[in-house]
Amino acid sequence: MKKIINKINFAALLLLAGTGSVLAQEAKKSPLSVSVGYHLVNNQAQFVVATLKTKVERRFMPAEDVEVKFYLDKDSASGGVFLGKGKSNTRGRVSMAIAPTAQNAWKASADHKIVAMTAKTDKYNETSTEGSVIKTRVTLDTAEEKGVKMTFEEWKGDKWSPVPGVEFKLGIKRLLSDLNISETETYVTDSLGQVAGTFKREKLPGDEHSNIVLVAKFDDNDTWGSLRFEKTVPWGVVTKKEGGAIGRELWGGRFHSPWWLIAFTYSIIIGVWGTVFYLIYMILKIRTIGKSISKKK
């Protein structure tokens, strides 16, 4: 009897230990926060971006290498469309384009819901986040000399309607960021969904045709997501590429090596390989002499 009791006790201990470790594993899981946003570039490229964060030592850090599945209108009557899946990068971000295969569902309604879902993993519990998308568009009118007129509209019912009260930035695209077109930091759309700004960046370097790229944008708007619209205008100063030694610099292309380098290198190659061929000639000479001796013998 004692033996049986001991066995039961042992089994209970094992069970407790097992449960404890499972609970410990559950407790170890970090919280995962997922936000999803809609991005529109040049009224054409549409994509959704999920940003994943986790808490590490009381600080929010990007959650890397977590798989996220994206759905368009998942809870709708049609069951929605699976957009695709991806893994978060080092910045905890995953982006997914709204592919042509989802265009029928996209066109069916003026506004949509994007769902980003993560599965249960060793590190995190499963999550599901929703984000709303409203169809919008931007037009940039630059007919007036150095004047920028921008119109922002949303798709309502069956037509485009102006959206008032949205804060925009108007700028010029530079190498690593955008430069404002004037001292005004931001512009808010009026009742016609329009903002007007004046281009005040005189003598701004453009390309060889004086082109610069105007930008109208906003980032992470709660209702509209992120939007960027670009338009090329000839308002810059022509930049001519400074040529070095008639275009034959050390950093030039293959057929633009400097003359002195070509002459120097080929003279070495000819000298050295001339010696190699001379030595081969000598070997052949030894061989010919040897062969003639063998024949005589």
Partner 1 sequence: MEQKLSAADEKIISDLLPKKFNRQGYVWIGILLAICAVGVFAYYRQIRYGLVVTGLRDYALWGLYISNFVYFVAVSLVGSLIAAVLRLSGVKWATPITRISEIIAFAAIVFAGISIMLDMGRPDRFYNLFIYGRLQSPIIWDVLVIVTYLCFSFILIYIPLLPDIRLMLNHPEKNPKFLNKIYSFFGEFWHGTEEQKAIRNKAVGVLTIGIVPAAFCIISVDAWLFATTYRPGWDATSSEAYFISGAFLVGCGSVVVAMYVFRKYYGLEKYLTDSHFDKMGKILALLAVLYVYFNITEYMIPFFKLKNSEEAYLNSLLLGHFAPVFWFAILIGMIIPICILVFKKGRTPLPMFITGIMVVIGAWIKRYLIVPPTLLHPFLPMHNVPKNYTTYVPTWEEWAISMATIAGTLLIVTLFTRIFPIIPINELIEERHEKDNQ
Measured between alpha carbons, how far is 200 from 206 in angstroms, rounded to an integer? 14
Contact 202, 221 (CB under 8 A): no
Positive or negative torsion for Cα 98, 101, 107, 109: negative
Region of 73 (left: φ > 0; alpha: ψ -120 to 50; beta: rest) is left
Residue 294 sits in the site that holds partner 1 (CB under 8 A): yes
251 binds partner 1 (CB under 8 A): yes
Nearer to partner 1, 58 or 254 (CB): 254
Residues 89-148 that bind partner 1 (CB under 8 A): 90-91
> Letter for the amino acid at 267?
S
Task: Using the rule CB under 8 A, give the single segment among 53-61, 142-150, 160-168, 259-267 that binds partner 1.
Answer: 259-267
Residue closer to partner 1, measured from CB, 2 or 295: 295
Applying CB under 8 A, which of residues 250, 260, 267, 270 lies at the interface with partner 1?
250
293 touching partner 1, by CB under 8 A? yes
3-state helix, strand, coil split of the chain in percent (to 5) is 25, 40, 35
Site string for partner 1, 62-91 (x = CB under 8 A): ----------------------------xx
- 268's enclosing H/E stretch is helix 259-296
In whole angstroms, how close is the CB of 216 to partner 1 at the nearest point?
28
Count of CB atoms situated within 10 Å of the CB of 81: 21
Give the C-alpha separation, 106 to 72, whole Å: 8
CB 124 within 8 A of CB 54: yes
Binding span for partner 1 by CB under 8 A among 72-80, 129-137, 192-200, 244-252: 244-252
Q: What's the closest the beta carbon of residue 244 comes to partner 1, in angstroms?
A: 13
Residues that bind partner 1 (CB under 8 A): 90-91, 250-254, 257-258, 261-262, 265, 268-269, 272-273, 275-276, 278-280, 282-283, 285-287, 289-291, 293-294
